Amino acid sequence: MDIDKLFKVPKLPAGGNKRKFPDNPTPEMLKKLKMDSSTPSVFAVDPSRNYSTQAKGETKSATIQDAQDQVADESFAPGGDADYFAEEDGEGRFFGGGLTSEQKTILNIFDKSVGEGIQDVPQELSITLVRKSLLNFERCVNKNQEQRSKYPNDPSRFIDSEADLDSAIKSMLSLSQAPVLAYPELVRSGAVALLIGLLAHENVDIAIDVVELIHELTDEDVGNDLENDEELEDTEAALKLLIDSLVEYSILELLVDNLSRMNEAEESDKQGVFHVLAVFENILGYNSDLASELVSKTNVLPWLLNRLQSKTHDENRVYAAELLSILLQNNVDNRIRFAKEDGVELLLKVVSQYRRKDPVDPDETEFMENLFDSLCSVLNEPSIKQLFLSAEGPDLMILMMKENMQSKSRAIKALDYAMSGTTSSGVCESFVEALGLKVLFAALMGKSNKKHKTHAASPASASEDITHILGIISSLFTHLASDSRGRIRLLTKFVEGDYEKVDRLIELRDAAQSRLRMTDLELDAERQLSENGEATSSDSTYIRRLEGGLFTLQTLDYILAWLIMEDDGIRLHVIRMLSRKNQSVNKIVETLRVHYDNLQDEKRPNDAKHHLSQREIIQGLIAALEPSQENT
């Protein structure tokens, strides 16, 4: 055997960064390999062979100093061992694996491929394996039921079957990786009925296993990793089939019944509650119409309201607030039922804790926001505005605005919802009587109470606050009677300070106009780049313009129109300020006309026949402002 060829390492290409080994081993290296029998190597070294060789015509024997010098050289590793210097014990001794870099790479690739094969088992799920899993589940269910029936008072006789059932349920979690294949088989085989039946199992842990499985099977992320639109549609169809089957077997009622069985002091039960709420969210995400059924046929609403009042704050309390917000969103029936459960007063009681303190973490911030979202949703209903007023809701919102905590922005938003609409006169009057004008205009002018810490709001949040503040002022002009004390106090606010609040409105109007001009330019560019040169629909264009500054401009011009009509001093000041920008009252009239043309007729409650509609009010403002144009 030519030992030189055996140990020769191929040269690396020019510019390579890998460690370079000598082309031929030195005699000292070979002798050290011979002497160190404890060093593992992929090559078998025969001790009977003489591995000495000549270098430059001379025979040289190895010395201890030579061996130490070679070990100190960082480019040296016996046998080309890739891990020789990487693996050592605490005392600095080396225990190389005896593998070269090339061999190490090959083994790593092999190990990786084996590991990935184990992890990707769900991707290789076949219809045969699905049916086998479902058959095993059915057998475990039947066996457990049989054992429990035979030995109802002897748990030791059915504990093994219960453990098998637990394993069978957990093994079905992999079915979520192949919904198109597995879900139709789940429905066809009757496994869905068996799963729903287990929600009433005597062992709560089994019911929790089932809830966790259903949560996984109905998760919104199922099939989201698919890039093919056709596969995605098939996945959605399979998921819809499963959810429809679950609802058919009364899953909503059984899940709510299980909430009362679970003791959240136990960690497993706490997780079970979380999974129940997650299943509700998943089902409502695919069919929002089921929100009415969930509230009307179960006791989920009282349970959620009770859970919100819990003294201990955790993820389930956050989830309960989120689910309540989902149930009340765009659902009139649920809002009315919420009011019948004294939900308004209870909600105000819970949010009041954030009057003088901020949430401690992002989760609690989300909890607070969901509470206010629920409050804003129910305040869309005329009948609930009166309940809000009776529970002193306006007073609480004003106090929150004064404190300048994180709840301030949410309180402004809630007031905007409460004071808008045709039946909000009482709330508007109560707002003025509770001295809300002072804090409202302080917020409009960007002023804050120096006694309290002011939270720096993001530009988006500040813009949203201004939008709701303008909405409140607009509602005050709409609902306060012309000869009332509240309206006089409102007009006085705009006169004081040398019309500084009017100047603020003009400033906001300029910003809204700039935004609207940019939006119009974008719409024109999109229209020109469209394939057929066809313009987008008028409705979509109008919505884009509303979002791009037109809505704010309409609100501002509505307020300015009222001010111009009711106070001569303000009228002259507005005309003077507009003329400095080469504009006139005519621009305000144009905005109001666009608003009037796109405004739909409102539904008037029976007790508000004498009130003017929003269209009628705008029409009257246009008529009042048109004579002013001659003087501009």
DSSP string, 505-556: HHHHHHHHHHHHHHHHHHHHHHHHHSTT-PPPPHHHHHHHHIIIIIHHHHHH
Count CA atoms within 13 Å of residue 342 on its CB side: 6
* Whether the predicted pLDDT of 15 surpasses 50: no
At 175 the three-state DSSP class reads helix
Query: In the structure encoding, which two tokens stand for residue 530, read together?
Result: 């469209």
| Tokens 């003087």 -> residue | 631
130, amino acid identity: V
Q: Rounded to 5, what percent of the chain is helix, strand, coil?
A: 70, 0, 30
What value does the mean pLDDT take over residues 468-488?
95
Contact of 422 with 604, CB cutoff 8 Å: yes
Neighbours of 89 (CB within 10 A): 8
Where does residue 201 rank: exposed (0-12), middle (13-18), buried (19+ CB within 10 A)?
buried
In whole angstroms, give the CA distance from residue 218 to residue 207: 16
Contacts of 356 (CB under 8 A, 6+ apart): 403, 405
The per-residue pLDDT for 7 is: 35
The per-residue pLDDT for 612 is: 80
What value does the mean pLDDT take over residues 71-82?
50
Query: In the structure encoding, which two tokens stand for residue 2, read together?
Result: 């030519």
In whole angstroms, give the CA distance from residue 483 to residue 479: 12
Give the residue among 526, 589, 529, 582 at the shortest CA–CA distance from 553: 589
187, amino acid identity: V
The angle, 0 to 180 degrees and rounded to 10, between the axes of the packed helices 300-308 and 251-261 is: 40
The per-residue pLDDT for 21 is: 38
Distance of CA 64 to the CA centre of its chain: 68
What value does the mean pLDDT take over residues 425-442?
95
Q: Tell me: the pLDDT tens digits for 26-40? A: 555 545 544 554 444
363, amino acid identity: D
The per-residue pLDDT for 78 is: 52
The per-residue pLDDT for 600 is: 76
Contacts of 219 (CB under 8 A, 6+ apart): 176, 278, 282
88, amino acid identity: E
Give the residue among 331, 339, 126, 122 at the shortest CA–CA distance from 225: 122
As a whole number, the mean pLDDT across the chain is: 81
Contacts of 248 (CB under 8 A, 6+ apart): none
Phi-psi category of residue 405: left, alpha or beta, with phi > 0 → left and psi -120 to 50 → alpha: beta
Q: Tell me: the pLDDT tens digits for 341-350? A: 999 999 999 9
At 412 the three-state DSSP class reads helix
b/e code 6-19 from CB counts within 10 Å (16+ = b) = ebeeeeeeeeeeee
In whole angstroms, give the CA distance from residue 260 to residue 501: 55
* Whether the predicted pLDDT of 81 surpasses 70: no
Rounded alpha-carbon distances, angstroms, from residue 296 to 280, 292, 308, 352: 14, 6, 20, 29
pTM: 0.76
Give the residue among 344, 256, 347, 250 at the shortest CA–CA distance from 299: 256
Neighbours of 436 (CB within 10 A): 23
User: Which range has the worst mean pLDDT, 263-267, 380-384, 446-450, 567-571?
Assistant: 446-450
Q: Tell me: the pLDDT tens digits for 357-399? A: 999 999 999 999 999 999 999 999 999 999 999 999 999 999 9
**Beta pairing partners, 55:** 58
Vertex 511: Cα angle to 507 and 515 (nearest 5) = 165
Q: Is the dihedral of CA 382, 386, 392, 395 positive or negative?
A: positive
User: Which range has the worst mean pLDDT, 20-34, 159-173, 193-207, 455-469?
Assistant: 20-34
In whole angstroms, give the CA distance from residue 393 to residue 381: 15
Contacts of 220 (CB under 8 A, 6+ apart): 282, 285
User: Which range has the worst mean pLDDT, 142-156, 243-257, 377-391?
Assistant: 142-156
**Candidate ranges 96-100, 174-178, 391-395, 609-613; pick with highest mean pLDDT:** 391-395
Give the residue among 404, 471, 475, 410 at the shortest CA–CA distance from 443: 404
The per-residue pLDDT for 14 is: 40
* Whether the predicted pLDDT of 601 surpasses 70: no
What value does the mean pLDDT take over residues 406-434?
94
User: Backbone phi, then psi, for 399, in 5-degree steps?
Assistant: -60, -40
The per-residue pLDDT for 194 is: 95
